[in-house]
Amino acid sequence: MPPIVNPELGLIFWQVVIFGIVLLLLRTFAWKPILSSLKERESSIEGALRMADQAKLEMQELKAGNEKLLAEARLERDRILKEATAVSNQLIEQAKTKATEEGARMIEQAREAIQNEKNAALAEVKGTAAKLSIDIAERILRRELTDQPAQQQLVDSYLQEVKLN
């Protein structure tokens, strides 16, 4: 068995005195800086936590703001798309109407041109027919006028054809 150590009274006294001196030195030189650094660390941690909470709130506000902006942007996009669709439909209708009117106008012009050409052709045919009729009548009259009895017969036949009122 190991021997039991019995410290002497003087050793205990000096250990207590040295412990007190070390305690006094630690209290005056070490405890204050340690406690102040602990308080400083605690306050910086609390500040960081407060800043984190504040940042969290700001992030939530920004998120809500972004969602609101996104919703407004979607509404604006939908409105613009509806307006663009309406404008395109209106332009298409205007183009159809204009094309229809232009087509009708062109058809009418073509009809008028055809009618004018027809009238001109008929006038030319009538003129040609009249000229031919006059030429034929002139030839017949020359032949008939040279023969006196044929001339008298022609005048008589014309007089019979003409009915007097």
Which tens digit of pLDDT belongs to each residue from 21-73? 999 998 888 888 888 889 999 999 999 999 999 999 999 999 999 999 999 99
9 falls within a domain? no
Query: So what's the pLDDT on residue 2?
Result: 64
26 falls within a domain? no
What distance in Å separates the CA atoms of residue 148 and residue 155, rounded to the nearest whole number? 11
54 falls within a domain? yes
129 falls within a domain? yes
Which tens digit of pLDDT belongs to each residue from 67-108? 999 999 999 999 999 999 999 999 999 999 999 999 999 999
7 falls within a domain? no
What distance in Å separates the CA atoms of residue 54 and residue 68, rounded to the nearest whole number? 21
Q: Write out the residue range of the structural domain in which residue 81 sits.
A: 32-161
pLDDT at residue 112 greater than cutoff 80 = yes
Number of domains in the chain: 1
